[in-house]
Structure 1
Amino acid sequence: MSDPALDALFLPFTSGQLPWPPAPVLFLRARDGAALRPFASRGVVCEQSFKPFAQALEQARLEVVTDAAEDGRRYPLILLLPPRQREEARALFARALSLLAPGGRIVASMANNEGAKSGESDLRQLAGLAGVLSKYHCRVFWTAPLDGPADAGLQRQWQALDAPRPILGGSFVSRPGVFAWNRIDPASQLLAGHLPPVLAGVGADLGAGYGYLSAQLLQRYAGRISALDVYEAEARALQLAQANLQPLAAGTTLEFLWHDVTAGLSRRYDFIVSNPPFHTPAREDRPDIGRRFIAVAAEALKPGGHLWLVANRHLPYEQTLNEGFGQVRVVGERDGFKVIEAIKAAPSRGRAARA
């Protein structure tokens, strides 16, 4: 798929405006794509915490890490695709400076409609800029060779913006950039309000975020849920879910899985809850992701198992639900969202005998 920010990021190097160093290069929030491939054999280390993007990079035979700071390396060139959320982006700029070798350079690319002007202004304020290029409705901007930040105090301040912090009166910890990071998502809240009086056995939360729905399950059905698997593709969110949910376990076995749900599940469940995503961190509109979550849930549920799902009212999920489940009903609607209960059919006696 087209990735204009990634394409624009490499233009200063392919055009000869900037040199490519002989030493390894760090690529923060890396994504695979055609523009990256010519540089793949030139020592690129990719940091990516979103599982589908990390897997795509690994399949392209690139070195992938979840935390580039762990091995203490410093890099002469750091590439980055900053996120839209400004606090998260500022923290990423500050972190890039902390991983930069003396005399190194930072190069960033952002789409114009994803905060490119703000990102350019922020990096200029933090480290100064030596060049800017506009292409593909994106802005690429880079520093001169650096021996440190323009403002060390600002760097420390911005690095702290990504730190987990209490939200909702201390009920949870969260951080900027995670979905609905400082609030309860109204769709998840609607789903929580329509959960049944009893859920029991082994369950899963698909796309758990910082753990709101899983917390509702553990608090409401204490003593009834024997095990709960928490699935999340974004490692930064999964770390928060682990911190938020472990104090609530009280006899429930919890497992936290950094996993792309669309790749399928290997376990079987009595019930599943989900508020599935319908876009990626690259802001692509992807209703097919939600459809795949539903199909995977149908495969993973035991006969008679229940899926409790919330979705935007307009999303076309009905066909996938009807194909995978014996019973489907809308149990609540509000503010453009719908809550659906779907029950997996038991195999017929005839089918069971033939099997």
Structure 2
Amino acid sequence: MKPRVYADGPDSALETLLLPLADGSLSWPREGGALFLRARDGWPLHQRALPGLLCEQSFKPDADALQRSGLALVEADADSRHPLVLVLPPRQREEARALYARAIARTAPGGRVLACVRNDEGAKSGEADLTRLAGPLGQFSKNKCRVFWTAPLDGPADAALFEAWLGLDAPRAIAGGRFLSRPGVFAWDRIDPASALLAAHLPGDLQGAAADLGAGYGYLASELLARCPRIASLDLYEAENRALELARANLAPRAGSVALEFHWHDVTTGLGRRFDTIISNPPFHAQGRADRPDIGRRFITVAAQALNPGGRLWMVANRHLPYEAELLAQKFASVRTVAQDRGFKVFEATRD
């Protein structure tokens, strides 16, 4: 199996995470298997047998990749406990701290937590955080990553801190109470300025069956329904399930006036249905920090395929991404730039 490659290189964190098991620093559990939080697929998971491995992943492309490779997925709200819990923490620190606490909560008595963080994504901070929760750690550095693990645990070293960190990624009100959000989702504690620019220019005559591609916690969908009374139905597509759960809550007041559907879905795989209106603020990063304009281009292609004749795509993008020159003009009968501000641009594209 080829290693998974990101825009800025191989998945070095996944490779380094498993090195203590490969070099004998740690042993794979004889019974009870292991739980892998924020699991990602890749060749290190298939080099040797890992009996009883269970994977948890809320990001749909990664979850799909794990399933395709034959690995077992579990729901995020499961409460089983395991002799080994593996963690690939996210960059957002509050979300990462909550994940460390949840890893300890899912560790059986005498079990260990094993984590790895890239140096450029906060490895030292991650190690310090787990130390505060669990006490002294084993660790080493390789592949520009730091891998670290606890001693056998019987609960957290700091019970008060553990309880506080468990709730760090809980949903909370933002934007003056207009929306619920949580650490780790896109623009979690604010209204994203690109989305706000798109919302401000949505025309009131958008109508029919609509879709929001990459819906996040539901800001754009909410604005579309507030500004466009002729929208009959709205489908929200979002790859991060933690964000989609928020969108369900944020759009609940609209459920009585318009048909709503929520899809935990990787938009780049296609939609399989048609719409009259599509709105989108496509992601332009994936794993790593490098620009990924290929994701936005794929969103545009999928939107063109999913629009009915005469259907309209309204989208916003970073000004430096050349979507209109490379793709929009090829896929749509007409394209116009509606607005440009603060490094972003809004397009309307109409299908013939």
User: What TM-score, normalized to structure 1?
Assistant: 0.94
Q: Is the 8 A contact 1:327 1:343 kept in 2?
A: yes
Q: Is residue 253 of structure 1 aligned with residue 259 of structure 2?
A: yes
Residues 97-148 of structure 1 deviation map (CA, whole Å, 9 limit, x = unaligned): 1111000000100011111111100000000133111011110011000001
> Following superposition of structure 1 onto structure 2, how do residues 130-141 of structure 1 map, counting pairs within 5 Å?
130-141=137-148
Q: Is the 8 A contact 2:202 2:227 kept in 1?
A: no
Query: For 2:126, which of 119, 134, 144 is the aligned residue?
Result: 119
Query: For 1:19, which of 18, 27, 31 is the aligned residue?
Result: 27
Q: Is the 8 A contact 2:133 2:162 kept in 1?
A: yes
How far apart are 1:249 and its partner, in Å?
A: 3.2
Q: Is the 8 A contact 1:40 1:62 kept in 2?
A: no
Q: Is the 8 A contact 2:117 2:126 kept in 1?
A: yes
How far apart are 1:40 and its partner, in Å?
A: 5.5
- Which residue of the partner structure matches residue 50 of structure 1? 59
Q: Is the 8 A contact 2:216 2:247 kept in 1?
A: yes
Q: Is residue 128 of structure 1 aligned with residue 135 of structure 2?
A: yes
Unaligned runs of 5+ in 1: 346-355
Residues 296-321 of structure 1 deviation map (CA, whole Å, 9 limit, x = unaligned): 00000001000001000111212221
Q: Is the 8 A contact 1:91 1:162 kept in 2?
A: yes
- Which residue of the partner structure matches residue 4 of structure 1? 12
3-state SS in 2 of match to 1:35: helix
Q: In 2 relative to 1, CA 156–200 (structure 1 residues): closer, same or farther, beyond 3 Å?
A: same
- Which residue of the partner structure matches residue 186 of structure 1? 193
Q: Is the 8 A contact 2:28 2:50 kept in 1?
A: no
Residues 165-206 of structure 1 deviation map (CA, whole Å, 9 limit, x = unaligned): 111111000000000001000000010111113111100000
3-state SS in 2 of match to 1:124: helix
Q: Is residue 231 of structure 1 aligned with residue 240 of structure 2?
A: no
CA distance in 1, matches of 2:201, 2:123: 40
- Which residue of the partner structure matches residue 94 of structure 1? 101
How far apart are 1:284 and its partner, in Å?
A: 5.2
Q: In 2 relative to 1, CA 39–240 (structure 1 residues): closer, same or farther, beyond 3 Å?
A: farther
Q: In 2 relative to 1, CA 45–190 (structure 1 residues): closer, same or farther, beyond 3 Å?
A: same
Letter in 2 for 1:182: D
Residues 206-236 of structure 1 deviation map (CA, whole Å, 9 limit, x = unaligned): 00000000000111123x1110000000000
Q: Is the 8 A contact 1:49 1:234 kept in 2?
A: yes
CA distance in 1, matches of 2:236, 2:82: 35
How far apart are 1:295 and its partner, in Å?
A: 0.1
- Which residue of the partner structure matches residue 268 of structure 1? 274
Letter in 2 for 1:9: L
Letter in 1 for 2:80: R
Unaligned runs of 5+ in 2: none
CA distance in 2, matches of 1:123, 1:34: 27
Letter in 1 for 2:36: F
What is the total number of aligned residue pairs between the two structures?
A: 342
Query: For 1:144, which of 151, 154, 157 is the aligned residue?
Result: 151
Letter in 1 for 2:268: T
CA distance in 2, matches of 1:39, 1:242: 40
**Percent of aligned pairs sharing the same letter:** 63
Q: Is the 8 A contact 1:262 1:289 kept in 2?
A: yes
Query: For 2:88, which of 76, 81, 87 is the aligned residue?
Result: 81
